[in-house]
Amino acid sequence: MTVDGLVLKSTGSWYDVKSDSKGLIKCRLRGKLKLIGIETTNPIAVGDHVRFTIDEHGDGIISEIFPRTNYLIRKSTKKSSQAHIIAANIDQAILVASLIYPRTSVGFIDRYLVSADSFRIPAKIIFNKSDLLNDSLLELHDYLAKVYRDIGYENLLISAEKDKDLNIVKSWLTGKKSLISGHSGVGKSTILNRINPDLQLPTDKVSDFANKGKHTTTFAQMIELEKNTYVIDTPGIKELGLIDMESWEISHYFPEMRDKLGECKFKNCLHINEPGCVVLEALEREEIAETRYDSYVSMIIDDDNRR
Ligand SMILES: Nc1nc2c(ncn2[C@@H]2O[C@H](COP(=O)(O)OP(=O)(O)OP(=O)(O)O)[C@@H](O)[C@H]2O)c(=O)[nH]1
Ligand SMILES: [Mg+2]
Ligand SMILES: [Zn+2]
């Protein structure tokens, strides 16, 4: 008899798989399946839908992985060509950012949005720790909120600590599988604990060292927030790799550039200093935010450095 289920957790070669009929079953991969040429360090990730049989010990043996609607990968190391699948079949990627303690940079936010877009995962932004914002940081927030809203990214200012607007976060999550990402210490686990106090995810004081926090959450895990609502609280991801992305491709993942791309004078325009560039013209007219354009340029430079 075969059972279909959803992978909630992966710990080395064992997987926690949830099925309607059997509940939570510990599964491993059938030996043969492991050998199929997959160029990632992990053949199965949280969010995968799998089919398995149950052996005489009550363990599941996974025989099939169903096709993924999308998946999020990151390079195992900077230089390595091998990739690690963080999660599969994700409805939305929610970036938790904080403008202080720790400060999430605009460059990081933009990189994340580009990555999510390249994996065809809709992204949203939560600015957490509103209780810590002084007037100038509030002003920065308002500026960024508008920049991102104008180009189609929903965003929200909350305080997990003070319970401000967590109900909106909850409504974003309901009925979906969401990836919750962000630097260590921005409050991902705190947000989830507030929404569902039964979770009791470990949270930690942001360590004073460089205000960067330390990783309290150590492995990707899919958490059932309520029925049919799942979240993946990923460990403080430093950098979502821009996997195999060519320089010319990067502008396709900037919504404010995407529509104009065919109109530049040169077909292979990188929108840096070329004549007749409609992206530069839009920047000049302030239709493209300077912060966004700066992020774009830094991604192009990084991309060049990888070659
Ligand atoms: N002032 C303030 N502190 C908060 C808020 N949300 C979370 N914190 C604190 O920030 C610290 C880090 O929170 P966590 O929830 O552990 O952060 P995380 O994003 O899960 O971090 P990792 O698991 O390491 O990736 C904890 O001390 C929280 O109490 C907030 O809205 N305001
Ligand atoms: Mg955490
Ligand atoms: Zn151009």
Are 35 and 79 within one domain? no
Are 278 and 154 within one domain? no
User: Do residues 194 and 166 make contact, with C-beta atoms less than 8 angstroms apart?
Assistant: yes
pLDDT of residue 204: 77
Atom of ligand 1 minimally distant from the CA of 184: 25
Sequence-ordered list of residues with C-beta below 8 angstroms from that of 229, at least 6 positions apart, any chain: 173, 174, 175, 176
* Closest-approaching ligand to the CA atom of 193: 1
* Ligand 1, pocket residues at CB < 6 Å: 128-129, 131-132, 159-161, 182, 184-190, 203-206, 213, 215-217, 235-236
**CATH code for position 116:** 3.40.50.300
Average pLDDT over residues 76-88: 71
When pLDDT is cut at 50, 70 and 90, the band that residue 71 belongs to is confident
> How high does pLDDT run on average in the chain?
87
CA distance 160 to 192: 9
Are 109 and 150 within one domain? yes
User: Do residues 18 and 4 make contact, with C-beta atoms less than 8 angstroms apart?
Assistant: no
pLDDT greater than 90 at residue 279: yes
Are 25 and 40 within one domain? yes
Are 187 and 224 within one domain? yes
Average pLDDT over residues 157-175: 97
Average pLDDT over residues 43-66: 93
**CATH code for position 257:** 1.10.40.50
pLDDT of residue 11: 80
In a domain, 182, yes or no: yes
What are the C-alpha distances in Å from 148 to residues 83, 124, 243, 252, 253? 29, 9, 23, 16, 14
pLDDT of residue 30: 85
Residues with CB under 5 A from ligand 3 (ion): 264, 269, 271, 277, 279
Are 107 and 208 within one domain? yes
Give 251 Cα–ligand 3 centroid separation in angstroms. 9
Model pLDDT for residues 11-22, shown as the tens digit of each residue: 878 999 999 899
pLDDT of residue 43: 83
Are 30 and 84 within one domain? no
Give me 67's structure tokens.
């096709």
- Minimum mean pLDDT range among 82-96, 132-146, 223-237: 223-237
Average pLDDT over residues 222-247: 74
Are 217 and 80 within one domain? yes
pLDDT greater than 60 at residue 154: yes
In a domain, 241, yes or no: no
pLDDT of residue 210: 43
Average pLDDT over residues 80-87: 75
pLDDT of residue 38: 53
Are 98 and 62 within one domain? no
In a domain, 239, yes or no: no
When pLDDT is cut at 50, 70 and 90, the band that residue 259 belongs to is confident
Measuring from atom 1 of ligand 1, which residue has the nearest CA? 129
In a domain, 238, yes or no: no
- Minimum mean pLDDT range among 74-78, 94-98, 218-222: 74-78
Query: Of 217, 165, 155, whose CA–CA distance to 186 is shortest?
Result: 217
In a domain, 158, yes or no: yes
pLDDT of residue 237: 52
Give 72 Cα–ligand 3 centroid separation in angstroms. 29
Count of helices and strands (H, E) across the chain: 9, 13
**CATH code for position 35:** 2.40.50.140
CA distance 157 to 11: 34
When pLDDT is cut at 50, 70 and 90, the band that residue 78 belongs to is low
pLDDT greater than 70 at residue 34: no
pLDDT of residue 211: 43
pLDDT greater than 80 at residue 31: no
Are 48 and 90 within one domain? no
- Minimum mean pLDDT range among 5-9, 218-222, 264-268: 218-222
**DSSP annotation string for 66-90:** PPPS-EEEEESSSS-S-EEEEEES-
In a domain, 186, yes or no: yes
Distance from the first to the final alpha carbon of the chain: 50
Query: Of 22, 20, 14, whose CA–CA distance to 44 is shortest?
Result: 14
Model pLDDT for residues 92-149, shown as the tens digit of each residue: 999 999 999 999 999 999 999 998 898 889 999 999 999 999 999 999 999 999 999 9
Are 93 and 161 within one domain? yes
In a domain, 44, yes or no: yes
pLDDT of residue 54: 95
Give 267 Cα–ligand 3 centroid separation in angstroms. 8
CB burial class (10 A; 0-12, 13-18, 19+) of residue 27?
Answer: buried
Give the end of a domain, one of 203, 233, 263: 233
Are 191 and 110 within one domain? yes
Give the end of a domain, one of 200, 233, 266: 233
- Where in the sequence is the domain holding 57, given as residue range(s)? 2-67
Give the end of a domain, one of 67, 82, 111: 67
Query: Of 136, 141, 126, whose CA–CA distance to 179 is shortest?
Result: 126
What domain count does the chain have?
Answer: 3
